[in-house]
Every structure is written in structure tokens, then in C-alpha cells.
Amino acid sequence: MIGAIFSLWYLIHGLKKIYNTSTKATIKNKVFLIGVAISIFVPALMFSLPTDLFSNIFAFLMIGWVIIVPILYVFGIFMVSQIRKLRELLKINKEKAELEAREREAVLNSIRAGKLPKIENTIQINLLEKEQLHFITRATLSKITKRNGRKYITKEGRGDFWVSNKRVGFKHPASSFDIKYSKILSCDTYDTDDGLIIYKSGREKPYIFSIMQDNDIANVILSVYLNSD
């Protein structure tokens, strides 16, 4: 019995050393080492015990303990490795988000300074002479309707929202239009961060857009032209 306990202590101590020193050991290798420990310890325990009832019960409990502890040990190793991976992933995502935020702020500052982006006419707009596109994105056009004395926002359709150096427009098979900057009374965010509302001279109801992405860039470009002398 004493020999079995000593062999158990020796094997656990040895496995601990292997685990601490072999940083490249995989979980599979650790499971194999634990299996070796069990295969050596269990026979040693069985041969060292007498055959009376108390010893058999004790042996049963010890064998159960020997089986459960390695399982918990392997599970613990697995969970630690997963937690480490999760921490690394969260760290990478945080660093990526911070980098993207810095890059976006740099782009916005560049636009505010007058360095506007130039993009290709990928949606086949009939451009005016010396007209340059700065921004294109998918957007949903909505309008304000009144029923029973209350105002409602009704979606009209999804299309391409675009901004150039001369005007802003919306391309949709059913309702395409454009507005020159000289006709825009005001432009501001609406309701949510992706909402944009434009009031046009001579039109009572405003144009409301829900822009799919880069709403802040569209806003800054529009503000550059609307606030210019």
C-alpha cells in the first residue's frame, strides 16, 4: 500500500515536471502520459492491498479517484488553453478596432482638410462636366407620411447613395434623383448614427437615408461642400 502511494506521488511529481518544462507538449501527449501513470499505478495499488472487504472498498475509491483526477486534470488543461486563446483573440480584436478607429479618424481629418477621396463611377451615373465622385454606398430611402394626425417614416426602397463635388444623389430603378449643393437647405444625422436627413429648397418633405456603412464619411464630405464659401 505504501509502495502504491509512493509510486502515485512519484508519477504525479514527474508529470508535473514534464508539464512545466515541456511547453510545446500537446494535450494529446499529456493524456498519453496520464494514461501511462494510471497503467502503472493501478496494478501497484491492487497488488499492495489485502483482500478483506474494507481494503476492497478503499481500493475501489482509490481507483475511482485515480480515474477522475486525470480527467479533471486534462479538462483543466483544455480549459486553460481555450481561455488563453480567447484572451489572445480578444486582445487582437481590441487592437484591430483601435487601429481601425485611428485610421478612420485620420481619413476624416484628411477630408476636413480638403483632401477628398476620388472613386470610380461604378454605378454608371451620368456625371456632369468636371464632376468627381467621392462616395458611394448602399442606402435605404424613406419618407415622412401623415396618418390620423401622426407622422410615420415609410421606407421607399434601397439603392445607391452617392456624393460628388457638385451634388448628392440616390440611384434606384424606381426613384433616382440628385440634388445640387446650392439647393440643399440643411443636412444632418437623423434618429440613429446611420441616418441622414436632407432638406431641399422648394420641397416640404425631407429626404431620409439609412446609410449602410461609412455614414460619418458621407457627413464630413457633405459638410465640406455645404460649409464652403
Structural domain including 43 reads 2-106
Q: How many domains does the chain have?
A: 2
Report yes or no on 120 lying in a domain: no
Give the H or E element holding residue 43. Answer: helix 27-48
Residues 101 and 137 in one domain: no
Task: Kindly list the strands in the beta sheet with 207-211, ordered across the sheet, starting from the edge strand earlier in the chain.
Answer: 177-180, 167-171, 150-164, 133-147, 207-211, 192-200, 184-190
Mean pLDDT of the residues in the chain = 75
Q: Which of 63, 90, 106 is the last residue of a domain?
A: 106
**Cα–Cα distance measured from residue 195 to residue 216, given in angstroms and rounded to the nearest whole number:** 10
Are residues 87 and 18 part of one domain? yes
58 vs 49: CA distance, rounded Å? 9
Residue 117 domain flag: no
Do the Cβ atoms of 74 and 65 come closer than 8 Å? no
Q: Quick one: pLDDT at residue 157?
A: 86
Q: Give the residue with greater pLDDT, 41 vs 6.
A: 41
Question: How far is the C-alpha of 49 from the C-alpha of 3, rounded, in Å?
Answer: 10
At residue 211 the predicted structure's pLDDT band, cuts being 50, 70 and 90, is confident
**pLDDT for 184 beyond 70:** yes
16 in any annotated domain: yes
CB 151 within 8 Å of CB 144: yes
* Predicted local confidence at residue 175, as pLDDT: 76
Of 106, 125, 141, the residue at which a domain comes to its end is: 106
Q: Is residue 118 part of a domain?
A: no
Is 170 found in the same domain as 213? yes
- pLDDT score of 22 more than 70: no
Per the model's pLDDT, the better-predicted residue between 116 and 50 turns out to be 116
pLDDT of residue 21: 47
As to burial, measured by CB atoms within 10 angstroms (0-12 exposed, 13-18 middle, 19+ buried), residue 100 is exposed
**Regarding predicted confidence, which is higher, 124 or 80?**
124
Query: What pLDDT shows up at residue 8?
Result: 56
**Same-domain status, 97 and 170:** no
Residue 182 included in any domain? yes
Same-domain status, 57 and 11: yes
Range with lowest mean pLDDT among 59-68, 94-103, 111-120, 197-206 = 59-68
Residue 77 has pLDDT above 90, yes or no: no
* pLDDT > 80? residue 163: yes
